[in-house]
A and B are shown apart, each in its own frame.
Chain A
């Protein structure tokens, strides 16, 4: 194909040419690899924060580089460089090539540009856009949190945004490029009342521009949420300990799905049969009320991508349908080795990292129960609406996630707030206990970051209100 050289960031800014891309791919396959790709990335980021009502500092960063990958069977060679000169790119290609050991393969004839959606705004301004409006956002958050209650004694609010340009060219003919904005506003507070202290935190954003924060998701929205949580926690009682009925609220509690089933359904673990879900396709892994999807195509969402980091279009993938395990999330390597379709879930933290199957936005579809009925049905249990992070052991299936805002349910009524507690379960079993699914699906506010093998990527989660008939709550009260 003819590269639109004057339209593409890397051609313009770094002097990349179509000829150089072809030479690098040729060099990458010079030792007989059967697939090679180049991943160019350039990121400009800014961050500004207010702390003790002062703008104590502001940061700006720029990084650029290229990662070159060569696959030979199930083996991967990888090298990267932060110097995009022809000489250094060719040397990185030569290093990655050494994974293979054979005669040079012929290179592909032509590139096809991946057709792509436009799920998010692409401003020409990069992250160099004025700092003043960002500063105003964090100052507003600070003022709103402090005004909420005199017991709010510390406020930190931060705004981070980045513009990430990527270009991918692969020996299978893939040619794709994208410009990906990402912005997030956070507010963390400390409340004190006599000898009691507590914390609260909130934040959100997505692949959005700054005007997103002028609507519902204003600095005041996040600040008041953080302040509300902290004040509430001042009077929290010890969380209960042991197995009980658990109701999870809508939105961010969907982190349950991310940990309990999402990671276990990433194709690499299933290809290697190291996941507790390996071999369970077609089997019941959840109650019939449960349908879970991963969807990278939702406009403006934190986990969304026009193309993944291998240049494949993203899609909506059904993972669990009416309780039956339907599919895995794959990248090119696992798709090829497992003889399955690539679901467009190949992602990486940066040009310094090898791509692997990752989630995008993972959520459970709405059911038919009203949230009020769900709570009313519980005699004694826990109602958890906000969570910190979670973690899963893919192989044993055991997962945890930590509630930061939860309440006791007593005789069908939500009563006292409880202190932080971790919930634990077994991935292939936990969702079999889902007995009610609400009609109130919500996605999180846009705050999630997922870690796997030392690589962090932005993700989204979502869920309606659900009831689990049994889950282990890690409190201290009997």
Chain B
């Protein structure tokens, strides 16, 4: 295997800050009252090793520029946006004229507009988001990482006979933003991850797969390939010989990596975009008790080194810490400038912005505060219950709170994990589920931008035999 050099996205690195400012200026000259420009460039590397052999090797970069314009006067703006991967003179001219032309046909919206100048800004200080070591390894060593992770998984047990591979990924991104109200900012982020996905088989031929991974902003913080492989093996083996259980109500214990999805549901419930439309079951619930007293959920985009951290949000506001639920009481919605104006509240610095489209709502680091018992102590309190290690499907209705998803995991008997359970569903209503969080463990760990400790919810229905 030869060694590849990463292709930088922008070889003859243009000054992106200057370009962003120039395009803002061009938009104003073309008739925009206000304008905002985002430029993103990124490189990616990924390799998959399967059964010891390289299966795929991918390496590349790309960039794009997005423009949002406002026409007319404040309080009655019309707005539109355009994006392109074409940075040529013709491409940029089309970007600007297209946005102006489109905005002319949109409606005047009293709530549209850029943030107020005094709201904009960015965090200073080292946030630990970018480490160039993610690209420091030669290709052969990256492949070796993936190979070791897979090998560690497959060598753990003779029942691990097949594989979806071990993989190593690295990526860097650079984001630049400027607007006509004086904001200019940029940041870089790096990412690397290593995973293994083994498949276990029983003599009867039933197959199960699971996986484990580690991801970090620097290679130095990545778990060892051997520990990832061993954990992937453990998780896969415990799924073998799964069976169905009968339809019943028992306590449900969500493993941390699954409990994360419930925290994601809380994010959606508090999403300002859904709130002003009445599309969330938490509409008009501010200050009300919406969850058990042990539930405190926080969004914090300022935590150094984590995956949801950034110095500013998608509209150029500094990121911040927002308590969504405190001891069961709904304290704040997550807002960008537009949804804040709709609800007559300040933005919480949660604007998310891709190249295209209007800003949406994005979380920073979103987590449920940990409790005081260990996961083992939490399980010990369950006489009969279901420990969930996988959820399937999209059966969550954020308007009504109705919740129904496919589930797999382990049966709990007298506080101990016993046989594997599969092909059942769990169902309830999120409004009630969040008020029935009867225990939260102390195992909070950030493996992504959303994190939760192990938690227990009572009163849900398992549908099975």
Contact = CB atoms under 8 A, between A and B. Distances in A.
Interface of A: 31, 47, 52, 54-65, 74-82, 88, 91-92, 95, 98-99, 101, 131-132, 135, 153-154, 156, 190, 192, 197-199, 233, 239, 241-243, 272-274, 276, 352, 354, 388-391, 393, 395-396, 398-402, 419-422, 424-426, 472-476, 478
B83 interface: yes
B405 interface: yes
Interface stretch (B186-194, B219-227, B298-306, B418-426): B418-426
B393 A62 contact: no
Given A79-B7, A154-B277, A352-B62, A391 B463 contact: no
B278 interface: yes
A324 B426 CA distance: 33
A272 B50 contact: yes
B247 A478 contact: yes
B86 interface: yes
B105 A58 contact: yes
Given A59-B81, A59-B82, A60-B102, A241 B463 contact: yes
Contacts of B105: 55, 58, 131-132, 135
Contacts of A131: 101-102, 105
Contacts of A88: 11
Given A58-B81, A61-B356, A354-B56, 19 more contacts: A56-B79, A57-B79, A59-B357, A63-B83, A65-B62, A76-B57, A79-B59, A80-B62, A82-B63, A98-B4, A154-B279, A390-B393, A396-B408, A472-B423, A472-B424, A473-B463, A474-B424, A474-B426, A475-B461
A442 B415 CA distance: 50
A31 B106 contact: no
Given A78-B58, A395-B209, A56 B279 contact: no
A62 to B, nearest CB: 4
A95 B424 contact: no
Contacts of A154: 277-279
8 contacts: A62-B82, A75-B57, A95-B7, A153-B278, A354-B56, A393-B209, A472-B464, A476-B428
Shortest 8 CB-CB contacts between residues of A and residues of B:
A474-B425, A400-B406, A400-B393, A422-B395, A241-B463, A402-B395, A242-B247, A54-B107
A399 B394 CA distance: 12
A243 B245 CA distance: 11
Nearest to A57: B358
Contact of A95 (B59, B63, B278, B404): B59
Contacts of B133: none
Contacts of A52: 277
Contacts of B103: 58
Contacts of B206: 396
Contacts of B18: none
A194 B465 CA distance: 37
Given A57-B81, A390-B393, A76 B356 contact: no
Nearest to B164: A274
A160 B107 CA distance: 18
B82 A61 contact: yes
B57 A101 contact: no
B425 A273 contact: no
Contacts of B279: 154, 190, 199
Interface string B398-409: 011010111010
Nearest to A74: B55
Contacts of B281: 197
A153 B283 CA distance: 14
A284 to B, nearest CB: 16
Contacts of A395: 164, 199, 207-209
B60 A95 contact: yes
Contacts of B395: 388, 400, 402, 420-422, 474
Contacts of B426: 474
Interface of B: 1-4, 7, 11, 50, 53-64, 79-86, 91, 94, 98-99, 101-103, 105-107, 109, 112, 139, 162, 164, 199, 206-209, 239, 242, 247, 277-279, 281, 283, 355-358, 390, 392-395, 397, 399-400, 402, 404-406, 408, 422-429, 461-465
A78 B112 contact: no
A133 B395 CA distance: 35
B422 A420 contact: no
Contact of B400 (A62, A79, A99, A198): A198
Nearest to B273: A51
Given A80-B60, A389-B393, A475 B84 contact: no
Nearest to A101: B1
A76 B405 contact: no
B393 A420 contact: no
B98 to A, nearest CB: 5
Contacts of A402: 393-395, 404
A389 B7 contact: no
A400 B392 contact: yes
Contacts of B461: 241, 475-476, 478
Given A95-B60, A396-B209, A472-B424, A197 B91 contact: no
A56 B57 CA distance: 42
Contact of A391 (B4, B54, B392, B397): B392
A131 B277 CA distance: 26
Nearest to A353: B58
Contacts of A81: 7, 60-62
Looking at A47, A82, A199, A354, the one whose CB has the most chain B CB atoms below 10 A away is A82
Contacts of A74: 53, 55
Contacts of A421: 395, 404, 425, 427
Contact of B399 (A76, A98, A197, A242): A197
A274 B107 contact: no
Contacts of A476: 404, 427-429, 461
Contacts of A47: 357
Contact of B85 (A63, A190, A192, A276): A63
Contacts of B91: 62
B361 to A, nearest CB: 15
Nearest to A394: B209
B80 A420 contact: no
B12 to A, nearest CB: 10
A297 to B, nearest CB: 30
A315 B97 CA distance: 42
Looking at A81, A101, A422, the one whose CB has the most chain B CB atoms below 10 A away is A422
Nearest to A426: B423
